[in-house]
Amino acid sequence: SNYDKRCLFISYAELLEQLKFAMKDEQARKTITGTLMAEIKSADLVVLDDLGAELGVKGNDSTNFNNDTLNRIVEARQNKATVFTTNLTGKEMSQAYGERILSRIMSNSQGFVMKIEGTSDKRVTGI
């Protein structure tokens, strides 16, 4: 292939879980926060999957830790190709993460928002 592009696909809920686990282990914390954040910053494309899944069924507001993590990612990805997938509406994202973070996500989107409706969840119904 003539392409030399680096892409990352990251489950946001899993990333948060790994970061929280690493808080107990200094070496793991350095590896995850240093190496992974450097990879997120330098990748040509990052897909941050299922933003909002970490909020649980009740759709509670995000925690400060989650918001700080998301903010670091959004800031690291400014003016870079980044895809956020979520089941949340814009209003729900604003409520969960705050207007500041949503504004930064949207400012980088250049108005490209893909809304998919009327499809069944293939994980539940099968293909």
Both structure tokens of 34: 């240093």
Q: Poorest-confidence range of 66-70, 100-104, 115-119? A: 115-119
Q: Has residue 19 got a pLDDT over 60?
A: yes
Is 74 exposed, middle or buried, given 0-12, 13-18 or 19+ CB atoms closer than 10 A?
buried
For residues 123 and 16, the model is more confident at 16
Query: Contact, 72 vs 36, CB < 8 A?
Result: no
Which residues have C-beta within 8 Å of that of residue 76, sequence separation ≥ 6?
Answer: 37, 40, 41
Tokens 């705050």 sit on residue: 98
Check: CATH 3.40.50.300 for 7-125?
yes
Q: Has residue 70 got a pLDDT over 80?
A: yes
What are the structural domain ranges in the chain?
7-125
Query: Contact, 44 vs 37, CB < 8 A?
Result: no
Q: Has residue 58 got a pLDDT over 70?
A: no
Q: Tell me, what's the pLDDT at 115? A: 78
CA gap 28, 32 in Å, rounded = 6
